[in-house]
């Protein structure tokens, strides 16, 4: 554990000193020019403003200077956007200016990509996808501060022509016809994938050219069993199609959800959920909610009520996935869905509350397996039935169905999934003895720790703080001896923020352990970063960046000074900017709420 030197503590406690050493003007820094030295000597510590809000503002100014030194334009865009979000609490006008500059730099990158000479097709596609993802994230951040500015910036000439295909004046019959054609082609691809892979891929590409078919995930999941790399590439094409225009169509995104979250939608999971893909998906889904027309025009239109109701049902289904993979988005999505319900008449709210649920899926899957002639498909159906039964807490039924699987490898994989899904069901049913028993049987220590963390979260909500603290400390003990990984870092930050309510004295110790893991992960890329930062995208994966935002947002509210101290130990400057900016935003929001309790954040 690195101990802060005396001079480190002095600089952390008085960020204004750092700001004045490098400061040349926030506007210039966010214009992405290199900082210049200031001829004025730094102030003495006792001359620095002691008000936490003022210290937070000065820290943001210093961070703006730091962003100006980043060599990667993509890092500059993200860093500027995070700082602008924080600054918007006290100066929304200035924050909008910074957002404009970040968006202008993004457009410059996109234009440079179009004007660049011939590139390797795969490299060109990767760059295009990276910029598209960056644009989605930037627009989402702008949307949270100023929906009007987000609409203004995204209404470029070519986007207007594209969005004309999705606005309310678009002929609905044409879209329905295209979706039908896309679904028909995708159905043909499904029928062909096992016998003629090349022909199936061509049919799928023709389908995606028309839009996102409702059955696209069925094809991708089948293709994944044969060629997972090709399935991922086609998913990227489909996701790009779904997010090409703003706002993304919620139905198009949800057609892709089973491929992103197979365990949640299908009851089984052939490979771990990719956290980066999950967060990109949830971010796009959030954008589709935030742009919903009923938020700005609660006109009493029946169609708008239907949209609000459907999105609310989607939100209910997706909320556990937000909590797990994108916790930093939960507050925004909750607020938006509150508005959705407020815009729906009382009789519609009653329909939502009493919506019918489907019949017994385990029985349906079992019948399908019994009727299936193909041994491979029959085994897969029994596996899905077994895992679904485990998800309902019926482990005896799950194990009975597992024994019907002939393929020994699939039977073993299913047994592992039954344990994991059964542990999740034990959490849902608050059967802590069963959870502990199943957690010990989980082979992957990262998943075991995740289950203990989820259980602690449920216990904390029930005010059973002593048992919650025990679960969190057990999870920490499981993680401590493991090699450094992104998942380990995420779990440590989650434990740290969870401890705030049950064992606050250990919070920053665990957060510092997460920082140490990130520093170890960054170590191998250090020389590459010095050699050529411009050649790469953001050094920090979105999954880690969002975890830092969620963690340091809460840590900053709890103890601003200590949050800044711990974040100062992050060796990756992009990560440090994110952590310190959200810590500043937290203290500024707290001060703003204290000054005006009625004002919403």
Q: Decide which of 593 and 467 is more confident.
A: 467
Mean of the pLDDT values across residues 321-331?
77
The CA–CA distances, whole Å, from 70 to 146, 363, 411, 539 equal: 26, 57, 51, 11
Rank 96-100, 120-124, 238-242 by mean pLDDT and report only the highest.
96-100
* Whether residues 183 and 91 fall in one domain: no
Convert 432-451 into a string of H (helix), E (strand) and C (coil): HHHHHHHHHHCCCHHHHHHH
* Inter-residue contact 585 to 556 (CB < 8 Å): yes
* Whether residues 343 and 277 fall in one domain: yes
User: How many beta carbons lie within 10 A of that of residue 100, not counting itself?
Assistant: 16
Closest CA relative to residue 452, chosen from 482, 422, 432: 432
pLDDT at residue 169 is higher than 80: no
* Inter-residue contact 140 to 288 (CB < 8 Å): no
Say if 412 falls within a structural domain: yes
**Token pair recorded at residue 533:** 């930062």
Pairs from 409-416 (Cβ < 8 Å, separation ≥ 24): 410/379, 410/380, 410/383, 411/383, 413/383, 414/268, 414/383, 414/386, 414/387, 416/442, 416/443
Lowest mean pLDDT among 54-68, 278-292, 445-459: 278-292
* Inter-residue contact 340 to 292 (CB < 8 Å): yes
Distance from the first to the final alpha carbon of the chain: 36
Of 409, 426, 441, at which residue does a domain stop?
A: 441
Q: How many domains does the chain have?
A: 4
* Inter-residue contact 244 to 204 (CB < 8 Å): no
- Which pLDDT score is estimated for 535? 34
pLDDT at residue 593 is higher than 90: no
Q: pLDDT tens for residues 225-276?
A: 888 888 988 998 899 888 877 667 888 898 899 899 887 776 555 566 787 8
What's the whole-number average pLDDT of the chain? 77
**Token pair recorded at residue 105:** 């730099």
pLDDT at residue 533 is higher than 70: no
* Whether residues 289 and 226 fall in one domain: yes
Lowest mean pLDDT among 30-34, 111-115, 176-180, 362-366: 30-34
* Whether residues 307 and 208 fall in one domain: yes
Closest CA relative to residue 476, chosen from 449, 502, 445: 449
- Which pLDDT score is estimated for 276? 81
Instruction: pLDDT band for 524, please (50, 70, 90 cuts).
Output: low
Mean of the pLDDT values across residues 159-166?
44
* Whether residues 254 and 294 fall in one domain: yes
pLDDT at residue 448 is higher than 80: yes
- Which pLDDT score is estimated for 32? 43
- Which pLDDT score is estimated for 156? 56
Burial of residue 550, with CB atoms counted within 10 A of its CB: 0-12 exposed, 13-18 middle, 19 or more buried: buried
Q: Is the dihedral of CA 280, 283, 285, 291 positive or negative?
A: negative
Say if 10 falls within a structural domain: yes
* Inter-residue contact 514 to 551 (CB < 8 Å): yes
- Which pLDDT score is estimated for 130? 79
* Whether residues 412 and 344 fall in one domain: no
Lowest mean pLDDT among 36-50, 172-186, 582-596: 36-50
Q: Decide which of 543 and 564 is more confident.
A: 564
Q: Distance between CA 288 and CA 307 in Å, rounded?
A: 11
* Whether residues 234 and 270 fall in one domain: yes
568-588 exposure pattern, b = at least 16 Cβ within 10 A, e = fewer: bbbebbbbbbbbbbbbbbbbb
Q: What is the DSSP-derived secondary structure letter of residue 38? A: -
339-356 exposure pattern, b = at least 16 Cβ within 10 A, e = fewer: bbeebbeeebeeebeeee
* Whether residues 186 and 313 fall in one domain: yes
* Whether residues 385 and 283 fall in one domain: no
Q: Distance between CA 203 and CA 210 in Å, rounded?
A: 11
pLDDT at residue 13 is higher than 60: no
Say if 415 falls within a structural domain: yes
Closest CA relative to residue 555, chosen from 601, 492, 599, 597: 492
In percent, the amount of the chain with pLDDT more than 70 equals 73
Convert 105-162 into a string of H (helix), E (strand) and C (coil): HHHHHHHHHHHCCCCCHHHHHHHHHHHHHHHHHHHHHHHHHCHHHHHHHHCCHHHHHH
Q: What CATH number is given to the structural domain containing 520?
A: 1.25.40
Say if 1 falls within a structural domain: no
Instruction: pLDDT band for 476, please (50, 70, 90 cuts).
Output: very high
Closest CA relative to residue 472, chosen from 442, 443, 504: 504
Say if 512 falls within a structural domain: yes
Of 312, 331, 352, at which residue does a domain stop?
A: 352
Of 331, 352, 373, at which residue does a domain stop?
A: 352
pLDDT at residue 531 is higher than 50: no
* Whether residues 459 and 585 fall in one domain: yes
Could you please report the per-residue DSSP string of 296-365? H-----HHHHHHHHHHHHHHHHHHHHHHHH-GGGHHHHHHHHHHHHHTS-HHHHHHHHT------HHHHH
Expressed as residue numbers, the domain containing 295 is 161-165+173-352
Say if 452 falls within a structural domain: yes
* Inter-residue contact 506 to 241 (CB < 8 Å): no
pLDDT at residue 366 is higher than 60: yes
Q: Distance between CA 106 and CA 5 in Å, rounded?
A: 39
Mean of the pLDDT values across residues 178-187?
76
**Token pair recorded at residue 71:** 């060599």
* Whether residues 146 and 255 fall in one domain: no
Say if 329 falls within a structural domain: yes
* Whether residues 457 and 506 fall in one domain: yes
In percent, the amount of the chain with pLDDT more than 90 equals 28
Say if 317 falls within a structural domain: yes
Lowest mean pLDDT among 257-271, 378-392, 405-419: 257-271
- Which pLDDT score is estimated for 342? 65
- Which pLDDT score is estimated for 582? 95
Q: Decide which of 132 and 69 is more confident.
A: 69
């Amino acid at each position: 554990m690195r101990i802060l030197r005396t001079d480190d503590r002095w600089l952390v406690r008085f960020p204004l000193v750092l700001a004045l050493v490098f400061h040349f003007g926030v506007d210039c820094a966010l214009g992405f020019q290199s900082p210049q030295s200031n001829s004025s000597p730094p102030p003495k510590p006792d001359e620095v403003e002691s008000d936490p809000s003022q210290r937070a503002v000065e820290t943001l100014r210093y961070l703006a200077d730091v962003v100006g030194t980043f060599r990667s334009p993509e890092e500059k865009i993200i860093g500027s956007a995070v700082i602008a979000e924080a600054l918007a609490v006290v100066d929304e006008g200035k924050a909008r200016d910074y957002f404009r500059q970040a968006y202008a730099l993004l457009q410059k990158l996109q234009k440079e990509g179009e004007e660049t000479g011939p590139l390797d097709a795969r490299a060109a596609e990767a760059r295009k996808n990276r910029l598209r993802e960056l644009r989605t994230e930037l627009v989402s951040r702008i949307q949270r501060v100023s929906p009007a500015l987000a609409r203004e910036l995204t209404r470029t000439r070519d986007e207007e022509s594209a969005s004309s295909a999705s606005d309310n004046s678009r002929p609905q019959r044409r879209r329905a016809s295209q979706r039908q054609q896309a679904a028909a082609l995708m159905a043909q691809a499904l029928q062909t994938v096992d016998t003629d892979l090349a022909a199936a891929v061509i049919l799928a590409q023709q389908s995606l050219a028309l839009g996102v078919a409702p059955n696209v995930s069925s094809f991708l999941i089948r293709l994944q069993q044969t060629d997972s790399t090709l399935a991922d590439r086609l998913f990227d094409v489909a996701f790009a199609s779904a997010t090409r225009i703003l706002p993304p169509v919620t139905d198009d995104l949800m057609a892709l959800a089973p491929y992103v979250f197979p365990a949640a939608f299908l009851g089984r999971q052939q490979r771990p959920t990719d956290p980066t893909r999950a967060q990109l998906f949830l971010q796009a889904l959030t954008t589709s909610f935030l742009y919903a027309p009923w938020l700005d025009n609660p006109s009493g239109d029946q169609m708008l009520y239907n949209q609000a109701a459907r999105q609310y049902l989607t939100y209910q289904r997706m909320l556990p996935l937000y909590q797990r993979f994108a916790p930093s988005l939960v507050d925004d999505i909750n607020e938006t869905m509150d508005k959705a319900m407020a815009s729906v008449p009382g009789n519609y709210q009653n329909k939502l509350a009493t919506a019918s649920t489907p019949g017994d899926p385990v029985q349906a899957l079992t019948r399908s397996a019994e009727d299936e002639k193909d041994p491979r498909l029959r085994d897969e159906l029994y596996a899905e039935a077994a895992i679904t039964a485990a998800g309902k807490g019926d482990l005896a039924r799950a194990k009975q169905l597992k024994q019907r699987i002939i393929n020994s490898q699939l039977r073993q994989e299913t047994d592992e999934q039954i344990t994991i899904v059964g542990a999740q069901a034990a959490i849902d049913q608050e059967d802590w003895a069963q959870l502990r028993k199943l957690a010990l049987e989980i082979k992957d220590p990262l998943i075991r720790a995740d289950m203990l963390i989820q259980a602690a979260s449920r216990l904390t909500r029930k005010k059973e703080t002593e048992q919650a603290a025990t679960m969190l400390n057990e999870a920490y003990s499981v993680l401590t001896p493991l090699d450094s990984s992104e998942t380990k870092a995420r779990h440590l930050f989650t434990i740290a923020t969870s401890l705030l309510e049950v064992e606050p004295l250990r919070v920053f110790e665990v957060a510092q352990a997460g920082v140490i893991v990130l520093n170890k992960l960054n170590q191998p890329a250090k020389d590459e970063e010095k050699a050529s930062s411009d050649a790469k995208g953001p050094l920090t994966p979105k999954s880690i960046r969002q975890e830092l935002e969620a963690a340091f947002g809460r840590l900053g509210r709890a103890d601003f000074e200590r949050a800044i101290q711990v974040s100062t130990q992050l060796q990756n400057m992009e990560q440090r900017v994110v952590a310190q900016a959200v810590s500043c935003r937290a203290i500024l929001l707290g001060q703003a709420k204290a000054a005006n309790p009625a004002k919403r954040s």
